[in-house]
């Protein structure tokens, strides 16, 4: 999954969806998107609202991405065949967050699990073996 696909999937296609699974790429690309937009909004807030001391654009962006982040985190846990209730680990200071980060970094269970089919399981029968290798790395003719 590409950066653009991940952002579109989370914000448009699965905004309120907890069902299914989310691969690591979807989760971490969306984190990167959130980080980049937050970094870009901070100076804009500082320039526009310097006298008030508040950051309304950053706050609005965080508010708008709260639900997609929550649903994405649940789908990421589903990819490891874990219930969304594991998000309650956030209650445990520091240790809970570290445990969830480790879980998010682990590869999802291969093949279908309790929460659906493997999002990375691609049907290789549609692939033209002359164009693309099964690893999705383009073949290069070396002469």
For the segment 52-98, what is each residue's pLDDT rounded down to a tens digit? 778 899 999 999 999 999 999 999 999 999 999 999 999 999 999 99
Burial pattern 88-121, b for ≥16 Cβ within 10 A else e, equals eeeeeeeeeeeebeebbeeebbeeebebeeebee
Q: Give residue 125's pLDDT.
A: 45
Q: Give residue 128's pLDDT.
A: 46
CA distance 22 to 108: 9
For the segment 113-130, what is each residue's pLDDT rounded down to a tens digit? 999 998 887 654 444 444
Burial pattern 50-66, b for ≥16 Cβ within 10 A else e, equals eeeeebebbeebeeebe
**pLDDT grade, residue 141 (50/70/90)?**
low
For the segment 19-53, what is each residue's pLDDT rounded down to a tens digit? 999 999 999 999 999 999 999 999 998 888 877 77
């Amino acid at each position: 999954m590409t950066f653009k696909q991940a952002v579109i999937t989370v914000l448009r296609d699965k905004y309120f969806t907890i069902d299914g699974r989310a691969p690591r790429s979807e989760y971490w690309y969306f984190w990167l998107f959130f980080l980049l937009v937050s970094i870009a909004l901070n100076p804009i807030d500082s320039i526009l609202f310097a006298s008030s001391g508040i950051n309304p654009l950053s706050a609005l962006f965080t508010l708008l991405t709260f639900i997609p982040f929550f649903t994405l985190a649940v789908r990421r846990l589903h990819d490891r065949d874990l219930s969304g209730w594991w998000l309650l680990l956030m209650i445990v200071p520091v240790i809970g967050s570290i445990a969830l980060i480790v879980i998010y970094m682990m590869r999802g269970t291969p093949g279908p699990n309790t929460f659906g089919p493997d999002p990375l399981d691609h049907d290789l029968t549609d692939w033209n073996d002359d164009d693309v290798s099964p690893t999705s790395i383009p073949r290069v003719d070396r002469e």
